[in-house]
Each structure stands twice: as structure tokens, then as C-alpha cells.
Structure 1
């Protein structure tokens, strides 16, 4: 069902979620499952970046991973709340 109006801001298909993670991180795996689910349901694009492959991301986020960015802005870190992410993207 298409809403008759939407809040100011980009449409879901114009949004981008970035998951910043590292290999072997169980919190990162949990975060990815939530990001994949919410983004698939809302039609939002997402990507993942590995802090072990990017020294700038490593320096900025190594104590906070997993980190979720919404349109380039930090949304959350460590644990991803499905409803909070869904609300941020709606």
C-alpha cells in the first residue's frame, strides 16, 4: 500500500545503509542480519565495509564496530535495533 504522503526526506529507494564491520565479529553478523532484513523489506540499498581493509575506517570506528550509517551519518553502533533502523528509514 502506497502512503498518500511521506515525511520530508528521501524516498526509501534513495537511501543507503552502510554496515562497517570486521571478519569474525559475532555482533557484526547479528547487525548484518538485521540490516539485510530491514533493507530488503523497505527496498533500501545497503553496503558493507571492512575496517581491516580501510585504515581511515579502522581509525575512526575500531572501538565501535559494528557501526551502521544511514546516508553517511552514524545511526548506531554495537547493537542494531530493528525497529529503530526501520523508523530511521521510513
Structure 2
């Protein structure tokens, strides 16, 4: 999963904690990227931060709860193995 964040973002801090809680319940790879103006992610996601992406698909923006994220990650992995 890619977690897009930016500097001074309270929602990002809250969402990242939910992501970490989800990883403790259902381990998955995580890459945290802090976007900034001018980078490849900025134009597409600056107004949706925080954003969670799996295989390029947005699975959440703004807010996420740990249990909801676990469900989404499990569903995504089951779809990939079916």
C-alpha cells in the first residue's frame, strides 16, 4: 500500500495511525510518501490527502478506520488471488 501524506496535516497523522493499527491486525507492505508541490503525486492528489493506494487504485481518502482498512486490504488480496 502507498500512503500519501503531506507536511502539517493532522488528518494524515490520524489516518497513518489507523493504517498502522490495521497492519498490526493484518500485515501488509506500506510505503509512506510525503507529497509536495511539483512532484508526480501533487497534481492528482493534493486536495484528497491523506490517500491510500493499492496497485494504483485509491482505497481511501481523507479518513479511514483500522477495521475498514483491514476489510479493504483483505478484499483486494482475495481478488488478486482469485
Q: Point out where structure 2 has 5 or more consecutive residues left out of the alignment.
A: 75-82
For residue 32 of structure 2, what is the aligned residue in structure 1?
48
For residue 80 of structure 2, what is the aligned residue in structure 1?
none
Establish whether residue 88 from structure 1 lines up as the match of residue 67 from structure 2: no
8 Å CA contact retained: 2:6, 2:34: yes
Q: Point out where structure 1 has 5 or more consecutive residues left out of the alignment.
A: 1-16
Q: Return structure 1 stretches of 4+ with deviation > 4 angstroms.
A: none
C-alpha root-mean-square deviation of aligned residues, in Å? 1.5
What is the aligned residue count?
A: 74
TM-score w.r.t. the length of structure 2 is 0.80
Q: How does 1:25-40 map to 2 (within 5 A)?
A: 25-40=9-24
TM-score w.r.t. the length of structure 1 is 0.73
